[in-house]
Amino acid sequence: MVRLIILDRDGVINEDSDAYIKSPDEWVPVPGSLEAIARLKQADFRVVVATNQSGVARGLFDLDTLNQIHEKMLGQVAKAGGTIDAIFFCPHHPDEECDCRKPKTGLYRDIAARFRLGLTGVPAVGDSLKDLQAAKAVGARAILVRTGKGEKTLSNGEALEDVDVYDNLAAVVDALLAQEQ
């Protein structure tokens, strides 16, 4: 059986910025996140990233720079002993009304199609309301981390019923792996 976990990028794997992560130099991992991804891989999880990247449409960085940021992320994860199986991203501006920008479910439906899996109960970790809404809309298990925008999302208190809350990705992985024993 394929086990899958879906992770938001900014605020979950790496530190977030209201000014966007615009270069590889600005991409800084959340403490413990890279090791957490390595532990997921050791437990035979497929690790997939689903991330809104409207900075592309806003002209803050181009697709080549986004690819460089992702190369840095993949390299840092590899150094920690892990891998990311796929990265799905939405490059559109919020005003574009695309189907892939969370809270819409296009990225999640693409993940389901690529891996030929249903997403019911699949852990989906995010730090924003949009992440939680997208996960819930496809029947995934919405998990909020307090890193990134997580504390703000928590203080707003919206759509938090049936959402597990953890301090960070490392704590999520601790809980997921403990549930399996």
Tell me: the pLDDT tens digits for 20-36?
A: 999 999 999 999 999 99
**Closest to 11 in 3D by CA, of 24, 28, 23, 35:** 28
The CATH number of whichever domain residue 111 belongs to comes to 3.40.50.1000
pLDDT value of position 161: 86
Task: Tell me the per-residue pLDDT of 94-151, one tens digit each, with 9 for 90 and over.
Answer: 999 999 999 999 999 999 999 999 999 999 999 999 999 999 999 999 999 999 999 9
Active-site residue, from 8, 16, 127, 131: 8
pTM: 0.96
pLDDT value of position 1: 61
- For the chain, how many structural domains are there in total? 1
167 is catalytic: no
174 is catalytic: no
Cβ contact 91:57 at 8 Å: yes
Cβ contact 16:148 at 8 Å: yes
Domain extent at residue 16: 3-179
pLDDT value of position 160: 82
Active-site residue, from 10, 16, 127, 131: 10
The two three-digit tokens of residue 96, written as one number: 């574009």
Largest CA distance in the chain: 47
Residue 2 has pLDDT above 80, yes or no: no
Cβ contact 169:30 at 8 Å: yes
